[in-house]
């Protein structure tokens, strides 16, 4: 993000979709996230994004107003996908074992988006200017993840499925370890996220004092 970016107006935090434009705006956001992740903010132009989308450059300005708005909106879009997945889990799942299994699957399924988001947020955090709404949303992502994990650990302990542990501390550890796996895939070519996720899964069940649940199928992360 450029050093001179000022605090955004309320409309700067999300795209300004017109009627029937939701899918098109979402496509632009995902292309923008990909380009910002593969390069950096300053080297990516709006023309680059328009060319990758196969649209007229004016359409991007029509939806987002500026490259700075598009950058912020692409981060927001990716974070909302992850937060939405975690929240759906908390609503749908009542069994702590099934919920934890689903949490692993969601992170594998969203691997590509989450890895790009991690790269883009690193660039964002090293900028001299921060945007309060983005900061809040990033923290909300981690809060929702830790709350989901801790809630399931506590439920499993109450039901006699897991041994007694510090649920909050374990949730922080798992969340932090997951971050390490995503960053590891950026820095080391031989890191396989699916394999690393399976290792974490086995170690977690062992730490919780139960046999590893039988898997009906395994999601794979595209490297």
Q: Rounded to whole angstroms, how far apart are CA atoms 80 and 75?
A: 9
Q: Which residues form the domain of 139?
A: 74-207
Q: Is residue 221 within 8 Å of residue 198, measured between CB atoms? A: no
Any domain includes 144: yes
The tokens describing 38, both together, are 């593969």
Q: Mean pLDDT for each 10-residue chunk of the chain (223 residues)?
A: 36 39 81 89 90 93 90 85 73 81 85 83 74 82 89 94 96 91 78 84 92 57 49
- In tens, the pLDDT along 113-140 reads 888 888 888 877 776 577 787 788 888 8
* Residues whose CB falls within 8 Å of the CB of residue 36, separated by 6 or more in sequence, listed in order: 44, 71, 74, 116, 119, 120, 123
Any domain includes 185: yes
Q: Rounded to whole angstroms, how far apart are CA atoms 134 and 152?
A: 27
The pLDDT, as a whole number, for residue 93 is 64
- Model confidence, pTM: 0.72
Q: Give the total number of structural domains in the chain.
A: 1
- In tens, the pLDDT along 60-70 reads 999 999 888 89
Strand runs labelled E in 61-122: none
Any domain includes 69: no
The tokens describing 133, both together, are 């709404």
């Amino acid at each position: 993000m450029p050093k001179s970016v000022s605090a955004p107006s309320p409309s700067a935090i999300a795209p300004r979709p017109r009627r029937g434009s939701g899918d098109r705006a979402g496509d632009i956001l995902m292309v923008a996230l990909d380009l910002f992740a593969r390069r950096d903010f300053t080297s990516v132009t709006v023309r680059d994004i328009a060319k990758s989308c196969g649209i007229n450059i004016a359409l991007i300005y029509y939806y987002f107003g500026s490259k700075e708005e598009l950058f912020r909106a692409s981060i927001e879009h990716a974070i909302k996908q992850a937060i939405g997945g975690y929240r759906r889990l908390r609503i749908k799942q009542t069994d702590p074992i099934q919920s934890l299994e689903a949490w692993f699957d969601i992170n594998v399924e969203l691997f590509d988006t989450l890895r790009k988001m991690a790269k883009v947020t690193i660039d964002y955090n090293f900028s001299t200017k921060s945007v309060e709404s983005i900061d809040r949303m990033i923290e909300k992502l981690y809060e929702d993840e830790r709350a989901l994990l801790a809630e399931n650990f506590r439920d499993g302990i109450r039901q006699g499925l897991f041994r007694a542990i510090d649920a909050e501390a374990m949730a922080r550890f798992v969340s932090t370890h997951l971050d390490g796996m995503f960053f590891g895939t950026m820095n080391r070519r031989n890191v396989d996220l699916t394999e690393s996720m399976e290792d974490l899964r086995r170690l977690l069940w062992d730490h919780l004092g139960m046999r590893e649940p039988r898997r009906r199928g395994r999601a794979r992360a595209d490297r």
